[in-house]
Structure 1
C-alpha cells in the first residue's frame, strides 16, 4: 500500500470518529405541569386579595392601596422574609397599589401590570364582576384595534405620538364613515394612558357598542404635554400650540388615513384634568369644528383666577351662538376632588351666562374610577 493510500485511510478514520453522534444531556422534562397560583397579587373567589412582597431585610412594609383617600396597611413578615397581607372582600373594579418599604414606595415586582405615564405610578390589580361584567371589564364582544402612530408636529417641530382606536365595525362596514372623539389625557399621563389598564377607553366603548348604548366611533388620543409638565400643557402658549397641532396635523392626518365623517356634527373633543382644560378651551375656540365638548376634573378651569376671556375672548358674550353650535357641553368633577369648589363656581358662571350645559358629579376624587365612569356616560350622548 503506497503512502497516499495510507494517508487517505488515516483521514477517513479521523472523519469517521468526528462524525459520531454527540452526547446530549439537555432536558425540558419538568418544565410543564399545573400552573402555580400568582405570587402577588392573588384575587380570591370571595374577592379578597392577597399581596406579597419579598424583603428579608426590611423593617416595615405597608400596602398602599387605591388612588384616593389612601390609608397604608401594615403587612406581616414570615420567617422566609416574605411580607403578606390579605384585604377585602373588595368591590369589583380596577385598583392601583404600591408597597411602602421602610418609607420608600415601590411597585410590585411580581406584577407586570402597571399604571404609567410620565412615570410609573403603581401596580394594577383587577377584581372581576361577580354576577355580571363591569362596564370597564374586557368582555366577549367584538373588539377593535389600537394603532400607534408617529407624526410630525408643525407647532412643536418634532415627531409626536398618537393612539387611534378603530372599532370592530370599521372593518365590517367598509363603506361607512365614522365620527371621531378626540380624547385628551391628564398632566401625569401620555397618549397611551386612556387605553392602559387604568383608562380602558377602548374597552368601555366596545362594551357600549355591543349593548347598543353608544355609536361606533373612532377615538384619537394625542400627547397633551409640550415640555413634560402640567404647567406647560396648561399655559396659554402651550394650549395654543396644541390647538395648532390638532387642527393642522392630527385632524388632517386622521381624515386622510381613516374613513372619517368630517362634518362638525361628527366631531367631539374631551379630556380629563389637564386634558379637560385643553378640550374646553380648544372646543370653545373652534365652535365651527366641534359639536361636543367634555371636561372632567380640570384644575385650570377650577382655579379662582381663571378667566375664560383670556383664552377665548368674548366667547360667552353671545350665549345663543354657543348654544346653537354645541350639541353638548359636559362638565364633571368628583365631590371629593379639591377642584370641586371651582367646578361649582364654573356651574354658576355658565348658568349666569345662559350657556346650556350638563354638570355631572359623584363621590370620588381625582382618580381613574371617576374618569372611566364619566367617559362611559359622555360617549352615550355622542353622535
Structure 2
C-alpha cells in the first residue's frame, strides 16, 4: 500500500453515505491539526483524470455547507444528467475552522492556503481512483470563499485551469463586516490582503477568470472596482452582475455559471490539443 502524505485519514463509508457525499478528515501539517473535506463524484463515473472543482465556503461555514445548504452536488448531477457539463468531482473543504473564518491565508502559524492548494488534491487522489495528477483543477467559492478562490487561484496560477468567484470579498478589510476577529493588522502583514494585487502579480499567467455579484449585495461595488482594476491592468476576465443579494438563493442559482464556465475551459483545451 502506498504511504499516505498524512499521518491519519478517516473517510466515511460509501454504503451509508447520503446522496453519494463522502467526508474525509485528515491530519494536515499545514493546519497543525485535522481538516475536513466533503467530496462528490457524479453517479456512474468510471474514469481517470476526473476534473477537480474546489468550492470554498464563506464565513461561519465548514465542509458540509456547499452540499447541505447549497446543494452543489445536486446542481452538478443535474447538469451532468442534462448533458450541459461533463462529469467532474467536487472538493468542498472546511477553511481550517479558525475564528469566524480563516480567509484561506497563512497566519497564526497555520498555512490555510497550502491546506487548499496542496492537501486537498493529495487527499482526493489518495482516496478516489478517479482523480490523478493529470486531473484538471479549478477553484471557486462564495463571499470569503470567493476571496479565497481569487487569492489562492491567483497565487498558485500554474496549478489551476480556471478561477471563479461569487459575491467575493476583494480586500481583507471587508472581513470586518462579517467577523469578530480583527483583520486590519493581519492585512498589513500579509502578501495576500488584496485580491487585485495578488491577481495582478500573476498577470498574464492567470488561468481563465470570471466572477459575479448580486446587484443588491453590499459587496457589489467592491466587485465592480476589482473588474475596473483588472481591465485597466489588461488582465482578461469576465465580470457579471445579476439580480440578488448576499444569500444562498443567489449562490444556489449561479453555481451553474461556474460549472459551465469550467466545462467550457476543458472543451477548449481538448479542441486545442487536437489541432
Q: TM-score, normalised by structure 1?
A: 0.55
Gaps of 5+ in 2: 1-17, 175-183, 267-275
> Which runs of structure 2 are paired with 1:1-383 in the superposition (5 Å)?
145-170=20-45, 173=46, 175-196=47-68, 198-230=69-101, 232-233=102-103, 237=107, 241-258=111-128, 259-263=130-134, 266-301=136-171, 310-311=191-192, 315-316=199-200, 319-322=203-206, 326=207, 328-382=208-262, 383=266
Higher CA-based Rg:
1
| Contact 1:164-1:218 at 8 Å conserved across structures | yes
- The verdict on how the C-alpha distance between 1:239 and 1:182 changes in structure 2, with shifts beyond 3 A counting, is farther
Residues 40-77 of structure 1: CA deviation (Å, up to 9, x unaligned)? xxxxxxxxxxxxxxxxxxxxxxxxxxxxxxxxxxxxxx
Aligned residues: 230
Gaps of 5+ in 1: 1-142
Q: Which has the larger strand fraction?
A: 1
| Contact 2:37-2:91 at 8 Å conserved across structures | yes
Measured after TM superposition, the shift of residue 200 of structure 1 is 0.5
Distance 1:146 1:364 in 2: 28
Q: Determine which structure has greater relative contact order: mean sequence separation of CA pairs < 8 Å that are 6+ residues apart, divided by chain length.
A: 2
Distance 1:252 1:146 in 2: 18
Q: TM-score, normalised by structure 2?
A: 0.75
Residues 182-238 of structure 1: CA deviation (Å, up to 9, x unaligned)? 111010211101111x301000011101111111011011101442313x3366527
Distance 1:381 1:239 in 2: 35
Q: Which residue of 1 aligns with 2:10?
A: none
Measured after TM superposition, the shift of residue 315 of structure 1 is 4.9
Residues 322-369 of structure 1: CA deviation (Å, up to 9, x unaligned)? 3xxx1x211111110111111110010010111111112111110011
Q: Which has the larger helix fraction?
A: 2
